[in-house]
Every structure is written in structure tokens, then in C-alpha cells.
Amino acid sequence: MNNYEIRRYATATFLIIALAVVGVCIYFSSALVNELSVQERARMQIWADATKQIVSVSTAGDASMDNIDFLFSIIEANTNIPVLLTDNAGQIIQQRNFTLPNPDAAVPLSDSRNLEYLSDKLSKLQNSDNVIPIKIDEHTTQHLYYEDSTLLRNLSRYPYIQLLVMIAFVIVIYFAVTSSKKAEQNKVWVGLSKETAHQLGTPISSLMAWVHLMKDMNLDADMVNEMDKDVNRLSTIASRFSKIGSRPNMEFGDLNEIAIASVDYMSSRISSQTTVTLNESDTPLMVNMSAPLLQWVMENIIKNAVDAMEGCGTITVTTTAHNDYAIIDITDTGRGMTRRQRRAVFTPGYTTKKRGWGLGLTLAKRIIEQYHGGKIWVINSVPGVGSTFRIQLPLLH
């Protein structure tokens, strides 16, 4: 299992644990809300029974004053649950704990605004389960309608608020860890790149001296020239590594020239069974760029394409202009990638090769996006058919 897979499984484990914690919290919150709802209905049932008793004793006229006071105390004890009581015909005969539009009316139910407000509440409650029938006698049945208390309504929203808070917390933690990891990775890459450039410096200088000595010794000119090219190439590579981590010198240049140089260089260093063709734009593609780093990016992608084709196939490099962008498409006839591989191809440490660190495309993305203000992505890939990488840079007019 490589580093990329370890990070992926660790991230998935973290998200699963976070979701489990959220689920447990929501479960207990929902259970609390349901319990409170049952308790409120029980209180309303007691309220309904008290109302029935009041009507019964008032009709019979045989109730003691203590019983009446007790029953009214039950009615008065409800100070937080909005209640509507309707008669046999469905007309409102009593309300409690509603915030009326005109609370100062001498007879609240006779005020038109209050009556309209309560009628609207009644129509909504009639379509809910918050109703308790009160059978006064064989011919009379009143109905008690009630809304959830403010406490219950707030608690019913609490699981959703809790869910949002937990999601926000998970997102913040995830991005904090990811940002910290990226910052740490950047330091490692920069240190590794600069140390590589530093270590290459001494042997390259020595090789340059040996090449000059061989020229003075009148050895085979073609052999010495080829060695000189390779030494200069090593010097260019060391220079590229030294630029990682610091802002490179940006210059105006034609993107076509970078494409031509990259194709020419790679064509002479890959298998003869691999064909690299260039479809060059008819017009100059002027962009603000670091030529050495941009050429490195192209050579890296072409080299990956050669590996994907196992040294046999066709690579097509196309430069075009679209709207305000210069575009380079690099298409190969290699093994292609799955959708998951396309998403992970620029991730640090991800590689499908037996040998490799999985940093080439990551550095390419950094060079294109951070230094050149452009974009690089896999525009198309079909397993068994091939892939197309696209580099997009802002055009200068």
C-alpha cells in the first residue's frame, strides 16, 4: 500500500468516525424531542379532561368550589403550549398562549384581526395530529387543538443545527489538517529540490571541466559534443530544481517555442517505436512564463505518456488559442486512466509505476497554477485508448 492509499484510507476513516459521532448525537437529540412531544400530549390530555369536567360539573351544578378551583388551576398551569378549543360546530370558543395581533382587545375573540389570525392557526392545526376530541355528551364533542411549545420547537430544530455545526467542524478540521499537510509537503519538496540542485552542482562543474579538457585533447568531436549537450542538460535540470520554492523570473514568450523545444528534445531521447508529432498554432501564443520550468512540465508529461504506452505508440502535441487562453494538449495512445485515477493523478505520492515518487505531476501542477496562473488537468482519458492532458495559460494581448 503506497502513501497515497494510506492517506486516502485515513481520510475515509476520519470521515466515517465523524459521521458516526454526528449520527449518535442526532439520534439522542431526536429521542429527547420525541419524549418531550409525548409529555406535551399527555399534558394536553389532562387539560382536555379538566375542560370536560368543568363543563360537566357546571351543567350538573353539584361540584364543590374546591373541585372547580382545582380544575381551573390545571387550565391556568398551561403557560407555554398554544391551545385552541372549538365547539361542536368547529367554532373557536377559547384560546390560550397565542401571540395575538391585538392583545389589548376587551374581548379577544370578538376582534376581527385576532379571529382571522386564530382561524388561520386552526386551519393548519386541523391538518395535523395535534388534536384531542373532548366528548361532552352524546350530542356534543369539542376539540382541543394545540401547537408544540416554543421549547419543543427549538429542540426539534436542534438536531439540524447540531448537524450543521458538526459538519462545519469536520470541514474545518479536515481543511486544517489538509492545509498543514500541504504546507509540510511543500517544505519537504522545496528542501529536496534545492538540496538536489546543490548536490548536482559539484559533479556538473567537474564534468564541464572534463569536457573542455577532452576538447583540448582533440578527441572525437561528435562524441565530445554529445557529452557536452548532456552536461548542459544536467546543468539545466539542476537550475530547474533550484527554482522550486522561489518565485522564478517570468518573461514574455511564445508558447509555440516551448512546445517545439520540448518535442525536439524528447524525440531524440525516446524509443524509435514512439512517434511525437506537433500541431503548431498558426499565430504566436504570447504568455508570461518561465521557459525552463514550462519546458520541464511538458517534458514530464511527454515522458509519462511514453511510459503509459510502454515505449510504443503516438504522442500528439497541439497548441491553440481559445478565447483569452493559450492551450497545449498532449495526447497519447497509452493505457489510459480510470475516473478515480484521473482524480488522483496530481496527488502527491500517487503513482502507478513500480519506481517513482509520484511527485512529477504534482510539481507540474504547482508550476502551472502557482507560478503561471494557469490550469493543468486531464481533459480526457479512456482505459485502453489513451489520455489527453491540457495546459491552459492566460494569453497576453
CA angle 225, 230, 232 (to 5 degrees): 90
- Residue 184 pLDDT exceeds 80: no
Over residues 186-210, mean pLDDT: 74
- Residue 178 pLDDT exceeds 80: no
Q: Note the pLDDT of residue 58.
A: 59
Q: Note the pLDDT of residue 7.
A: 66
Per DSSP, 103 falls in state T
Q: Where does the pLDDT of residue 347 fall: very low under 50, low under 70, confident under 90, or very high at 90 and above?
A: confident
Domain spans of the chain? Answer: 3-147, 248-394
Q: Mind listing the pLDDT tens digit for each residue in 228-245?
A: 888 887 887 777 677 666
The whole-chain average pLDDT of the chain stands at 81
- Residue 357 pLDDT exceeds 60: no
Q: Mind listing the pLDDT tens digit for each residue in 149-163?
A: 777 777 778 777 877
Higher pLDDT, 387 or 101: 387
Residues 6+ apart with CB under 8 A from 353: 307
What is the Cα–Cα distance from 362 to 182, expressed in whole angstroms? 11
Superfamily, domain 248-394? Histidine kinase-like ATPase, C-terminal domain (3.30.565.10)
Q: Note the pLDDT of residue 368.
A: 92
- Residue 145 pLDDT exceeds 80: yes
DSSP symbols for 147-164: PPPHHHHHHHHHHHHHHH
Higher pLDDT, 89 or 258: 258
Over residues 105-132, mean pLDDT: 84
Q: Where does the pLDDT of residue 392 fall: very low under 50, low under 70, confident under 90, or very high at 90 and above?
A: very high
Instruction: List the 131-135 sheet strands across, edge first.
Output: 92-96, 83-86, 141-146, 131-135
What is the Cα–Cα distance from 170 to 156, expressed in whole angstroms? 22
